[in-house]
């Protein structure tokens, strides 16, 4: 990715360890939409995640702004990508006659306290609607490359863009709508709603990539393939087959590898959120 000329966001903050144990997490907005589903997106089963979130993990973090002169290349990369999302979605919302409220991106290690409750770094990156923040432990990027087979800058950018996609859903009222649908459904029905939410966030990530590239030519050869590989590597079928050797479609919460690639590509090829209506797509996802 070519990010040298990209504006660096000032909305990145990092946590410092404050010690203490993790108390039980209290999830709102449909539960899995807030944290659990997003943890599974990064390869942690709900049962494992619940155990981690309610265990005795130490080192809850508190937020401090990242200094503008921070020389950590990973932090600089995050600030550049977040800046690109701010510019793209800011312009997109203006064209819709709306105001884009920029989310904070919180960097943490080990565990973090959010408005959605306390989460271990094992949960992976997630978005919390309650405080409108994206949470990322930078060590996840190493896991993305080594365990998920998705190295490269654009694979890392895809993770941020997907979580910011959830923020866009929140601002547009989609998160509340999905929460109501989940509450009205049984377990299998709620899982299907969750799949719609996640695939739409993938599609929004594709829209962002197309818009940013059209405006500032940030993509290089191989970048798109890197993003598609990242989307494919976290499909429910791929994760279940790797973790338990079998696939249980009724338990899917994020969609198959093929679906994730399809919707990311759909967003990228159209560059329009109107083409990301996974809810009306229904069974044809």
pTM: 0.79
Q: Are 160 and 134 in contact (CB under 8 A)?
A: yes
Identify the pLDDT of residue 257. 76
Averaging pLDDT over each range in 55-64, 115-124, 213-222, which range is the top one? 213-222
Report pLDDT digits (tens) over 147-194.
Answer: 766 668 888 999 999 999 999 999 999 999 999 988 887 766 788 888
Is the C-alpha dihedral spanning 165, 167, 172, 177 positive or negative?
A: positive
Question: What mean pLDDT value characterizes the chain?
Answer: 77
DSSP secondary structure string, 117-137?
Answer: EEEEGGG-SEEETTTTEEEE-
Identify the pLDDT of residue 282. 61
Identify the pLDDT of residue 42. 41
Report pLDDT digits (tens) over 49-83.
Answer: 433 444 334 444 455 666 555 678 999 999 999 99
Q: For the domain 12-284, what is the CATH code?
A: 3.40.390
- Within 10 angstroms of residue 8's Cβ, the number of other Cβ atoms is 20
Is the C-alpha dihedral spanning 88, 90, 94, 99 positive or negative?
A: positive
- Within 10 angstroms of residue 140's Cβ, the number of other Cβ atoms is 20
Selected residue with higher pLDDT from 122 and 4: 4
Identify the pLDDT of residue 215. 95
Residue 223 has pLDDT above 80, yes or no: yes
30: left (phi over 0), alpha (psi -120 to 50) or beta: left
Identify the pLDDT of residue 139. 86
Report pLDDT digits (tens) over 12-56.
Answer: 998 753 333 333 232 333 333 334 444 444 444 343 343 344 433
Identify the pLDDT of residue 39. 45
C-alpha distances (whole Å) from 142 to each of 137, 149, 158, 164 are 10, 10, 14, 20
Selected residue with higher pLDDT from 35 and 279: 279
Averaging pLDDT over each range in 5-9, 111-115, 219-223, which range is the top one? 5-9
- Given pLDDT bands bounded at 50, 70 and 90, which one contains residue 132? very high
Residue 244 has pLDDT above 60, yes or no: no
- Given pLDDT bands bounded at 50, 70 and 90, which one contains residue 106? very high
């Amino acid at each position: 990715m070519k990010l040298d000329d990209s504006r660096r966001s000032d909305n990145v903050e990092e946590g410092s360890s404050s010690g203490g144990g993790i108390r039980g997490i209290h999830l709102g907005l449909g539960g899995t939409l807030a944290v659990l589903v997003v943890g599974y997106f990064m390869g942690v089963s709900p049962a494992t995640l619940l155990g981690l979130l309610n265990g005795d993990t130490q080192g809850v973090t508190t937020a401090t702004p990242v200094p503008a002169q921070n020389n950590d290349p990973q932090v600089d990369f995050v600030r550049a990508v977040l800046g690109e999302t701010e510019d793209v979605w800011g312009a997109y919302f203006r064209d819709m006659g709306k105001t884009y409220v920029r989310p904070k991106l919180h960097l943490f290690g080990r565990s973090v306290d959010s408005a959605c409750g306390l989460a271990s770094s094992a949960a992976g990156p997630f978005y919390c609607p309650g405080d409108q923040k994206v949470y990322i432990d930078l060590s996840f990027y190493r896991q993305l490359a080594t365990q998920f087979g998705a190295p490269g800058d654009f694979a890392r950018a895809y993770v941020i863009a997907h979580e910011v996609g959830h923020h866009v859903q929140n601002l547009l009222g989609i998160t509340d709508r999905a929460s109501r649908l989940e509450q009205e459904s049984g377990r299998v029905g709620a899982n299907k709603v969750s799949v719609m939410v996640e695939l739409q966030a993938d599609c929004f990530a594709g829209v962002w990539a197309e818009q940013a590239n059209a405006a500032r030519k940030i993509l290089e050869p191989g970048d798109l393939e890197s993003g598609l590989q990242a989307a494919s590597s976290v499909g429910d079928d791929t994760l279940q087959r790797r973790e338990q050797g079998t696939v249980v479609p009724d338990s899917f919460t994020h969609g198959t590898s093929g679906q994730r690639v399809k919707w990311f590509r759909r967003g990228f090829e159209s560059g329009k959120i109107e083409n990301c209506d996974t809810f009306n797509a229904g069974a044809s996802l």
